[in-house]
Amino acid sequence: MSAAIDARRPNNRPRRGRDSLLETGLARFGTGGDSGLARALSHPLADYYLVLATTTLLVGLGVLMVLSASSVWSSVTNQGDAYYYLVRQVAFLCVGVPTAWWLSRRQPTVLMALGWIGMVVSIVLLVLVFTPLGIESYGNRAWLSVGVLGTIQPSEFAKASLVLWTAAVLANRTRTLGDPKRLLFPSLLGFAVIEGLVLLQHDVGTALIIALIMFGMFWFVGAPLRVLLALGGVAVVGVGALVATDPERMTRIFAFLDPTAAASDQPMNAIYALASGGWWGLGLGASRQKWGGLYNGAQTDYVFAVLGEEMGLIGSLFVLLLFFVLGFAGLRIAARSTSKFLSYTAAGMTAWIICQAAINIFVVMRMLPVVGVPLPFLSQGGSALLANLVAVGVLLSAARQEPGAARLLASGRRPRQPRLTSVIDGPQPRD
């Protein structure tokens, strides 16, 4: 553990059994030396600009890919309207961007309150899914009808609420996180309630992401290894039971192990799309698999396959680079934050986005069985996009409140002192 971190640790704070990942040299990573990169990363607002730039590029690519990937399916299912999904995506984007900006200007106390309010609202919305307002699609009852606004997926907003609420709970127990009871309750109870409601909707993909968020946050705060292993064992048994008792999930496992026995050719067509893209791609809008091979998944779960086909390996690697930079910036924000709440929140939001992106891309590349999770910022889906932008807004807020960034912003808001001049009386020079 670094001396800087030890110096900030109160003398009466007991050392936990395992150091938190956030209490490492990550805060100073890449800042040593005289290179241009080191100087850029040393800027007080470097993390803020990294998150803002990568998110802007990912959202921009997402709009392009929804336009391209959804045009065929939208024309077939919406009476020839090729722009139906694009219009909905842009509408949610117009709500999400101001929301992210508003959140980026909020103080930790406001974000804590939003976490508690969000948990209550999320639970209510998840329960309403089981009423006549709920909508079932492709075996999952995970959507809620909201009248003229169409449908929303409450589980997406529950992810953001869970991170904020859990961070608020854990931040108030910093000195006792080595005690499993203080660590797990009520945090684990909150996760269990949300997880249970999501599993009742048969949405295993979202349940998997929520479980990874839970493990990520407990790992980041330095939970004892025995606790993590115990939770992991329970999770493995639970997932095994869910798969073994559901014929459709078993079919997905068998299809992953033996592609020739798959009931759907969608996963293999995703590989064909990536292979067809080559180095530079076929060109924007020129995807062939979106015309039927990827079916309804071209603009949702398999949008990365369409991107790889149209933009090639170079475009795919660029997207991977953007997610890597976003993850690096998010973890650096968590490591540099002096507020435990902001530190845990930034870590949780980063774990959510990066883990979900990794799972989606692994599924597209046939490195995992199909689990049905969207690619953050790029997949079509208004609820997912809005929830992702909420996460970005919180990350930007934490970045603005890093010690160096806060001092810089405060100095920029400080009113300028009036310029004082003096008049000296005395003999004036003669012409």
Task: Please state the pTM of the whole predicted model.
Answer: 0.89
Furthest CA-CA distance within the chain? 106
Task: Report how far residue 394's alpha carbon sits from residue 102's, in angstroms, rounded to the nearest whole number.
Answer: 9
Give the pLDDT mean for 114-138.
93
Residue 125 pLDDT exceeds 90: yes
Residue 416 pLDDT exceeds 70: no
pLDDT tens per residue across span 239-290: 888 888 877 778 888 778 777 766 678 889 999 999 999 999 999 999 999 9
pLDDT category, 106, cuts 50, 70, 90?
Answer: very high
Task: Report how far residue 134's alpha carbon sits from residue 364's, in angstroms, rounded to the nearest whole number.
Answer: 29
The neighbour count for residue 95, using CB atoms within 10 Å, is 14
pLDDT tens per residue across span 339-365: 999 999 999 999 999 999 999 999 999
pLDDT tens per residue across span 206-239: 999 999 999 999 998 888 888 889 998 988 888 8
Per-chain mean pLDDT for the chain: 86
Residue 15 pLDDT exceeds 70: no
CA distances (Å), origin 224, targets 101, 173, 227, 372: 36, 15, 5, 32
pLDDT tens per residue across span 52-95: 999 999 999 999 999 999 999 998 887 788 899 999 999 999 99
Of 100 and 237, the structure prediction assigns the larger pLDDT to 100
